[in-house]
A = this chain, B = another copy of it.
């Protein structure tokens, strides 16, 4: 299954639960001072909201829980490389670290596509760590799309 850690395991659990709800299975958790303060799976269908990606949901929830929309001390764990929208939202929230599982060459915006954190219009970049839980994250996605064909 490759390397993982306890926070990424929770993000993977959120991804699996998203699949059960018929959502594209991507999960995220937001960690502050060693504790999970927000967790979510993708809810774009359920919420009828194209912006309801797991990353956006945990950023919004964490801001509410912590009483501050600037999440400078917080770290995000997400099963798939964030898209361009989420990469920018992560920057706006001033997140400290981003850990993502699988790469997404077709839709990612961190190490693929626009590589937002390397652009001059990006005014805060998190530290980025990739690959943790990536194999499992990919398998969850592959199984989901295979089952729908």
Contact = CB atoms under 8 A, between A and B. Distances in A.
Interface of A: 44, 48-51, 56, 59-60, 63-64, 67-70, 83-89, 92-93, 106-109, 112-114, 116, 119-123
A51 to B, nearest CB: 5
Contacts of A121: 83-84, 106-109, 112-114
Contacts of A92: 50-51, 85
Contact of A69 (B49, B59, B87): B49
A64 B51 contact: no
A69 B84 contact: no
B44 A49 contact: no
Q: How many protomers of this protein does the assembly include?
A: 2
Contact of A60 (B51, B106, B122): B51
23 contacts: A44-B69, A48-B64, A48-B68, A48-B69, A49-B60, A49-B69, A50-B59, A50-B69, A50-B93, A51-B92, A83-B121, A84-B87, A84-B114, A84-B116, A85-B86, A85-B88, A88-B88, A106-B121, A107-B123, A109-B114, A113-B119, A113-B121, A114-B121
A120 B113 contact: yes
A88 B93 contact: no
Given A50-B70, A114-B121, 5 more contacts: A49-B69, A84-B88, A84-B109, A84-B122, A85-B88
